[in-house]
Amino acid sequence: MKEPKKPLPKPQEPAPFRHPVSPFEPVSQFLGHSLAAAIGFVGLALISRIPVLILSLIAKWLGMELPPALHVVEELMFWADVILFTVVFASGVVIFLVEMYVETKIRIIEALQRRT
């Protein structure tokens, strides 16, 4: 036999704040995202060097010199990675600042509304 359906629990009253925030939470969150971006771009730099390293190993094995154009390509790939990381990091800083501004503004408005 089927058991009768249990009623759904009543929703709880909302807390005055959405969630408790320590003063260090935004900074630690920002540092964590920055570290993740840095590790990702170091990985990208290493992966993008693999074809050049393979070609240089083949050239050494055959006793040949790498063409200068390959060194230029290698350096361009490195600087493109550095520039891309800078753009991503700067955009992360801007997003962090905007989010903190909006969150602070909302909390101030909520606190003022509770006082009145």
pLDDT tens for residues 44-90?
888 888 888 888 888 888 888 878 888 888 889 889 888 988 898 89
Among 18, 19, 22, 17, which residue's Cα sits nearest to residue 111?
A: 17
Among 115, 72, 62, 71, which residue's Cα sits nearest to residue 107?
A: 115
Q: Are 81 and 45 in contact (CB under 8 A)?
A: yes
Residue 36 has pLDDT above 80, yes or no: yes
0.75 exceeded by pTM:
no
Per-residue pLDDT, 14? 54
